[in-house]
Amino acid sequence: MEPQTEDPAQRRQHPRIPLRIRFSTSNVDGSAQADLTSTNVSLGGVFLETPDEKGFEMGTPILLQINQEGEGPLRVLGEVVYILGKDVTAESSLTPGLGVKFVHLTDDQRVRLMGLLAAGPGR
């Protein structure tokens, strides 16, 4: 097996946009609610800063909501696909948080996310 030489960013299906947005999050049963801020967003998912990763596990379904002015809330279903805990980030410049993959986006959700991403970091 040959070593992988491709840059991981090149394997991404959707480019990440640095974007700080407040997401309201909860478990699918409505428990464990928290407001978290994104560091980057793409059509495929989001990285959310977390002061404490407790309560989140790999594979956990999570409801995300963004309140958009003039459009009503954008609600999407996601799945926690990776966790950067304080133990990993303590000796690096990485931010503790959650990688969340969007799942089952409707056409309307996709269009609204594209508009949000097009507005970019200056949003």
Structural domain boundaries, residue 70:
16-117
CB count in 10 Å sphere of residue 36:
20
Q: Would the pLDDT of 111 be above 90?
A: yes
Mean pLDDT value of segment 40-49: 95
pLDDT at 21 over 60: yes
In tens, the pLDDT along 46-98 reads 999 988 766 788 999 999 999 877 788 999 999 999 888 776 656 777 788 99
- The predicted model gives 34-40 an average pLDDT of 93
Split into its structural domains, the chain has a count of 1
Three-state DSSP class for residue 14: coil
CATH of the domain at 23: 2.40.10.220
Q: How far are the Cα atoms of 27, 56, 62, 70, 96 from residue 32, in angstroms, in the given order? A: 6, 9, 10, 28, 18
Q: Determine, yes or no, domain membership for 55.
A: yes
Tell whether 4 is covered by a domain.
no
Structural domain contains residue 31: yes
